[in-house]
């Protein structure tokens, strides 16, 4: 029997691991991405995604995978998975441009019997109200009758050594029960456990519930961090104690702000949908306000710490440690390091940064000098701000060297010149 054809549209953090898994499961996989550099890199065996190695890309190529930026070179497909970005528009609403473009491409290459699965995070109703009409119009076929259409949220956690694509349960929700079964059949071959949602809308909502839950709980501890300091309470110690409760509590930790896609961006998709009902989603809006204020709070704390040691922020040499949005990965999307750098620079700080994962870094179009020797840089800075506690960092050594250290992660050892957020 000929191998079934799988087309993955969008070969980023979500699409690439899926393509690898599908190729390993015996599907004939093609990747379509509008970025020629990503396509060329993958076809040359180079991964641009943190958790995917060059060897895995090479293995997938050996199994017949190819990437293309030329839609015309595609052919009819058995399964089409859409993994393109869902950013925010200028008014902070959903920007479904890429989803619509990818859906149009899918519509041109689906045939009777094809499964189309949307994985991009989006507001509930998108699969049925936005994707379905485009597919039906372009293909002339009926969703749920001639072809299957489902939503399956991606739960990739970049940098997580324990849970990857294959062993994280995969939710699937079709626009009809038979579409759910078609999606469950496909994903059952590429990952260990499939969870069936009642429909595509519940699957879309499940993803936003997960993201919103984290967003709100991070905002809760960020707000607590601010008042705990004024009350003289070590919040990290309190969280550590609370986390010993064997039920009913999950620890979240304060930090300099939220980054990546899932936390700062995705909940906006849900609040947009709720606003169409004529009222706001107050939890999300409050969480956004609190988490969005953290970069300013970090900057104020930096100024205060320097001031207590009779140094002004204006003219101070400030070393930022770790500028990615998450530890141990290279992804800088929405990293709070960026607004923090802007605010510090606006107040006259002379910035340098250090990050083992970032070779060069520019903020507002202006390069920030990179410290190559961490010991020297930490010793010569008036203030070191730990933004991301990458595993590579020897925090006791950094704390011993730094003149002043503002620790936004609660990860450095306590010392008179070290302050936690």
Which residue ranges make up the site for ligand NAD (CB under 6 A)? Answer: 9-15, 32-35, 38, 83-86, 98, 101-102, 119-121, 154, 156, 158, 261-262, 266
Minimum CB separation from ligand NAD for residue 51, in Å? 9
Instruction: Select 84 or 110, whichever has its Cβ closest to ligand NAD.
Output: 84
**Minimum distance of ligand NAD from residue 137's CB (angstroms):** 17
Cβ of 394: how many Cβ atoms within 10 Å? 12
Written as one string, the DSSP assignment of 76-123 is --SEEEE-----B-TTSSB--HHHHHHHHHHHHH--TT-EEEE-S---
Smallest separation, CB 378 to ligand NAD (Å): 31
Q: Beta-strand (E) ranges in 175-220?
A: 194-196
- Shortest Å distance, C-beta 122 to ligand NAD: 7
The smaller minimum CB distance to ligand NAD, of residues 11 and 270, is found at 11
* Nearest alpha-carbon partner for 61 in 41, 82, 81, 77: 41
Distance CA 325, CA 292 (A): 14
Asked if 214 and 203 count as a contact pair (C-beta separation under 8 A), the reply is no
Helix (H, G, I), strand (E, B) or coil at 161: coil
- Judged by beta carbon, residue 155 or residue 343, the one nearer ligand NAD is 155
In the bound state, the residue with its beta carbon closest to ligand NAD is 12
d(CA 307, CA 299): 12
Q: Rank residues 18 and 228 by Cβ distance to ligand NAD and give the closer one.
A: 18
State the nearest-atom distance from the C-beta of 134 to ligand NAD, in Å. 12
By annotation, the residues acting in catalysis are 262
Mapped onto helix, strand or coil, the DSSP state of residue 5 is: strand
State which residue, 262 or 294, has the beta carbon closest to ligand NAD. Answer: 262
Find, among 141, 75, 130, the residue nearest to 103 by Cα.
130
> Which backbone phi and psi does 304 adopt, to 5 degrees?
-65, -45
CB 144 within 8 A of CB 291: no
Is the CB of 84 or the CB of 316 nearer to ligand NAD? 84
Measured from the CB atom, is 136 or 154 closer to ligand NAD?
A: 154
Nearer to ligand NAD, 11 or 149 (CB): 11
Write the CA distances from 197 to 81, 167, 173, 232, 365, integer angstroms: 18, 18, 5, 46, 45
- Contacts by residues 47-55 (CB-CB < 8 Å, ≥ 24 positions apart): 47/16, 49/12, 49/13, 49/16, 49/17, 50/13, 50/158, 50/159, 50/329, 50/330, 50/331, 51/13, 51/17, 51/156, 51/158, 51/159, 51/160, 51/164, 51/329, 52/16, 52/17, 52/20
Least distance from ligand NAD to the Cβ atom of residue 316, Å: 35
Q: What is the DSSP string of 248-299?
A: S-------S---TTTTTTHHHHHHHHHHTTTS--HHHHHHHHHHHHHHHHHH
Which candidate, 100, 71, 73, places its Cα nearest to that of 84? Answer: 100
Residue closest to 216 by CA, chosen among 294, 290, 296, 154 = 290
**Smallest distance from ligand NAD to CB 107, Å:** 13
As measured in angstroms, the least distance from the Cβ of 333 to ligand NAD is: 8
Does residue 217 sit in helix, strand or coil?
Answer: helix
């Amino acid at each position: 029997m000929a191998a079934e054809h799988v087309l993955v549209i969008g070969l980023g953090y979500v699409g690439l691991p899926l393509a690898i898994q599908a190729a390993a499961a015996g599907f004939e996989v093609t990747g379509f991405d509008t970025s020629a550099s990503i396509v060329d890199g993958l076809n040359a065996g180079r991964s641009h995604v943190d958790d995917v190695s060059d060897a895995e890309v090479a293995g997938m190529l050996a199994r017949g995978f190819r990437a293309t930026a030329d839609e015309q070179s595609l052919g009819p497909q058995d399964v089409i998975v859409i993994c393109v970005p869902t950013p925010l528009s200028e008014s902070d609403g959903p920007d479904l441009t890429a989803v619509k473009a990818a859906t149009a491409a899918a519509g041109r290459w689906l045939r009777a019997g094809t499964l189309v699965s949307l994985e991009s995070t989006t507001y509930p109703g998108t699969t049925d109200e936005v994707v379905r009409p485009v597919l039906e119009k372009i293909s002339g076929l009926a969703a749920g009758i001639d072809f299957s259409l489902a939503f399956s949220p991606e739960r990739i956690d970049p940098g997580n050594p324990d849970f990857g694509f294959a062993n994280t349960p995969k939710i699937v929700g079709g626009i009809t029960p038979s579409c759910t079964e078609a999606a469950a059949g496909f994903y059952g071959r590429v990952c260990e456990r499939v969870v069936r949602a009642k429909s595509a809308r519940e699957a879309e909502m499940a993803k936003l519930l997960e993201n919103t839950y984290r967003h709100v709980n991070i905002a809760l501890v960020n707000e607590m961090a601010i008042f705990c300091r004024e009350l003289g309470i070590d919040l990290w110690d309190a969280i550590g104690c609370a986390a010993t409760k064997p039920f009913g509590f999950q620890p979240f930790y304060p930090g300099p702000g939220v980054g990546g896609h899932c936390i700062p961006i995705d909940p906006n998709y849900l609040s947009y949908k709720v606003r169409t009902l004529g009222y706001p989603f107050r939890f999300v809006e409050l969480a956004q306000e609190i988490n969005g204020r953290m970069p300013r709070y970090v900057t104020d704390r930096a100024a205060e710490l320097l001031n207590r040691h009779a140094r002004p922020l204006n003219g101070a040499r400030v070393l930022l440690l770790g500028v990615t949005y998450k530890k141990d990965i290279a992804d800088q999307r929405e990293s709070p390091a960026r607004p923090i750098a802007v605010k510090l620079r606006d107040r006259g700080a002379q910035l340098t940064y250090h990050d083992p994962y970032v070779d060069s870094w520019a903020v507002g179009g202006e390069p920030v000098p990179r410290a190559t020797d961490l010991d020297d840089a930490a010793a010569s800075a008036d203030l070191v701000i730990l933004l991301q506690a990458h595993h590579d960092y020897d925090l006791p050594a950094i704390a011993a060297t730094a003149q002043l250290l503002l620790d936004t992660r609660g990860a450095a050892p306590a010392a008179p010149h070290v302050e936690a957020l």
